[in-house]
Chain A
């Protein structure tokens, strides 16, 4: 079975004014669509066909750059769409909140660390909130790498991610990545982040 571009659970304009409909449409339909197609093209007829994406990423160092780039691009965008929602919970709660407080001291400290990771990633990439056992860490990865990959400096389970490729924000924010990262907090789907934390 081949990988499929997931449908969004909300409309392209649902995250406005923080993320505009045109950005969403191109980002999902074109960029994510291309990663999905390219990944399928790369695994078709190989030993990777039929494997779960998480399994492919865990051993990605053994595969081609095409698999690494498009496998990462496929997985990362799946996560990105799901950890955002219109009108989602505005703050982490329950066990996730306890874990954030335990690992970072406060939600504010966590947000500062995550924002810094997103702003200092030079070039294209992602910033992550990563679960490592019972604790949480913030990291960032270049291009379409992620913490599930054996090549990642910081490994673990990503439970929140922000795309800082320019295509994620350029139509709306141009060079102002800090404004995009600020706006992102308004659309984080903390229920989904909590679900991934319990994973």
Chain B
């Protein structure tokens, strides 16, 4: 099965001024596309040629894992934005966040800290574990929580390519703006 780059569910300039059209053009059109292309090339003629993405992520390593996980991570990341989206978690997710972190504000603070302090390239995630408990986790490089049996609900890409054109070294500013475009409706549905 050939993997394909999913189209963005919004225009390239839809997240301006928080995430620029130029950043999305490279991030989606070049980086995400390259992971898709690399994955297709790497799995050709291997045991993973006809496997679905999650199976590849759970069973592969090295280059195949890196590219498969980055395809998943970026698809998951791009799907969760909408400038006019829902700014706060709803219903059951809201209750779960309050129960786990004390308040939405406290959750945002803890998640921001995870995103700011991940050293090097990687991701910060809000996940649900097997018992249904919410957790914040960090992964390095292509790391993806589904390999640990966790269910991802929301993620922030902190590879420098996600923000360098807009914010340069100011990762905290990128995360501040990330909250402005995160659509909690999508996250609540995932929950």
Contacts and interface: CB of A to CB of B under 8 A. Distances in A.
Interface of A: 26, 30-31, 34, 65, 69, 122-125, 142-144, 165-167, 170-171, 174-175
A26 B168 contact: yes
Contacts of B142: 122-123
B26 A175 contact: yes
Given A123-B122, A174-B26, A26 B169 contact: yes
A130 B120 CA distance: 23
Contacts of A31: 169
User: Shortest 10 CB-CB distances between A and B: which pairs?
Assistant: A166-B160, A123-B141, A123-B121, A124-B120, A143-B120, A170-B164, A175-B30, A30-B169, A124-B121, A174-B26
Given A31-B169, A175-B31, A166 B119 contact: no
5 contacts: A26-B169, A65-B119, A123-B120, A166-B121, A175-B31
A174 B160 contact: no
Interface residues of B, number: 19
Nearest to B63: A122
A175 B165 CA distance: 11
Contacts of A122: 66, 141-142
A23 to B, nearest CB: 9
A171 B168 contact: yes
Contacts of A144: 119-120
A26 to B, nearest CB: 5
A143 B159 CA distance: 12
A60 to B, nearest CB: 14
Given A34-B169, A171-B165, A165 B160 contact: yes
Nearest to A70: B119
A69 B120 CA distance: 9
B178 to A, nearest CB: 18
